Chains A and B, each alone.
Chain A
Amino acid sequence: DAGVIQSPRHEVTEMGQEVTLRCKPISGHDYLFWYRQTMMRGLELLIYFNNNVPIDDSGMPEDRFSAKMPNASFSTLKIQPSEPRDSAVYFCASSSDRGTSYEQYFGPGTRLTVT
């Protein structure tokens, strides 16, 4: 399996611009998670989906952030408008409920820099 795929790997944008991050989960996985990692706040869960439905978005920092999962193989995280404090590494992860321990598999991340 190719693992979790994220694109782009790096994104540099100017404040006020719209940013869209993309994720393809592992085939057959029915849970998808979006995380943000910064030096100051560590690893934060933003939102997660089950069978394409958002289950918990309590970690989404504000209305500028939105996430969608139109089908089982694709999800987006959008920031509009972007701000310098959004600079971070954003990870997507997926998991399956067919096991008993619910381990998550992470993508390589998207490093976002907002200037």
Chain B
Amino acid sequence: GDSVTQMEGPVTLSEEAFLTINCTYTATGYPSLFWYVQYPGEGLQLLLKATKADDKGSNKGFEATYRKETTSFHLEKGSVQVSDSAVYFCALSDIDDYKLSFGAGTTVTVRA
């Protein structure tokens, strides 16, 4: 079945540091890939997405590239801010499947 594996946290960074969260997936078909972010006390929000190989999703300074050859969708941001402190979830939706398979989530804390 479909599954997502993302790096375990927690991750603690200083402001303006570079952030990478690794995500790899297993899927039977050709999935769409997502990163969701959950700020403290809130629901999950879609951060970015990619629907085909080599697509790059981007939003709020975050980027992730759909790599079919390595079945990966790593999240990156060049200079994090305190406001980026949140839990980040990698997820996939296989073709014609409306369910999302989520990773376990990675807690990121950015210190001033």
A: residues with CB less than 8 A from B are 4, 31, 33, 42-43, 45, 48, 50, 56, 91, 93, 95, 97, 100-109
Q: Can you list the 4 inter-chain pairs with the closest CB atoms, starting with the nearest?
A: A106-B43, A101-B32, A106-B44, A102-B93
Q: Are A107 and B34 in contact (CB under 8 A)?
A: no
Decide if B108 is an interface residue (CB 8 Å cutoff). no
Interface of A is mostly: strand
Q: Let me know if A91 and B44 touch, CB within 8 A.
A: yes
Is B89 on the interface with A (CB-CB < 8 A)?
A: yes
Q: Is B45 an interface residue (CB 8 A)?
A: yes
The reply to whether the CB of B7 lies closer than 8 angstroms to some CB of chain A is no
Q: How long is the Cα–Cα vector from A109 to B100 in the complex, in angstroms? A: 17
Of all chain A residues, the one with the shortest Cβ separation from B43 is A106
